[in-house]
Amino acid sequence: MTVSVLIHLPGRRLLRHGLLIVASALFTQTALAEADIAAGEALFKRVCGNCHNVGPGARAAFGPQLNGIFGRHAGATQDYKYSPAMQQADVVWDHDTLSAFIKDSDSVVPGNKMRFWGIDDQDKIDGLLLYLKAQQDH
């Protein structure tokens, strides 16, 4: 025989509101991340897409394709002819190295052949990197 006892917890309403707040915060973070990814995609298409490809079926163009860039060694894709500076660079691409490279490519890999003025706005760079991260598995 099972006996159920209902215990009234005075903090039950507080707990419910707390859960709603947490759920709302998670939803907001997800929505912001999606907005940042969308902004990053738009920035990629406008600023990077003339030279680089990313996504399913991406191939090298005027610049290397950027699928799987996170964790990749600089100058490591097989379908692009990199500058000697990039081939010899001791750089593994992660958020910090890519951020610095996007700001000023010559400060990270002096003598590389990418001709790009750079982006100074870290929020834009972060959105761009979120977009590239979303393309990581292609």
Query: Residue 133's Cα: distance from chain center in Å?
Result: 4
The residue assigned the tokens 């191939």 is: 59
Question: Is 70 exceeded by the pLDDT of residue 5?
Answer: no
DSSP letters of 17-28? HHHHHHHHHHHH
Instruction: Judge whether 74 and 66 are in contact, CB under 8 Å.
Output: no
pLDDT, position 8:
53
Pinpoint the alpha helices (H) of the chain.
12-43, 84-88, 95-103, 105-108, 122-134
Both tokens assigned to 90: 């001791």
Query: Residue 122's Cα: distance from chain center in Å?
Result: 12
Ordered structural domains, the chain, with CATH = 29-135 (1.10.760.10)
Neighbours of 91 (CB within 10 A): 19
Tens of pLDDT, residue by residue over 56-106, are 999 999 999 999 999 999 999 999 999 999 999 999 999 999 999 999 999
What CA–CA distance (Å, rounded) separates 105 from 91? 12
| Higher pLDDT, residue 125 or 33 | 125
pLDDT, position 138:
75
Tell me the whole-structure pTM to 2 decimals. 0.74
pLDDT, position 31:
40
Model confidence at 115, pLDDT cuts 50, 70, 90, reads: confident
The residue assigned the tokens 């209902």 is: 6
